[in-house]
Amino acid sequence: MARGVEAGTVEEYLDRIGEPFGSALRTVRDRIAVLLPDSDQVISYRVPIFRRNGKSVVGLSATATECSLLLMSPPAAAELAGTLTEGSLSGATLHFSPEHPLSEQTLRTILAVRLRELDGGTKPKE
Work out the average pLDDT over 83-90.
95
pLDDT at residue number 53? 92
d(CA 42, CA 119): 20
> Which residue ranges make up each domain of the chain?
10-118
3-state secondary structure of 107: helix
φ/ψ of residue 100, rounded to 5: -135, 75
Q: pLDDT, tens digit, for every residue of 14-72?
A: 999 989 999 999 999 999 999 999 999 999 988 999 999 999 999 999 988 999 999 99
Share of the chain above pLDDT 70, in %: 92
pTM beyond cutoff 0.85: yes
pLDDT at residue number 3? 66
Tell the CATH topology of 10-118: Aspartate Aminotransferase, domain 1 (3.90.1150)
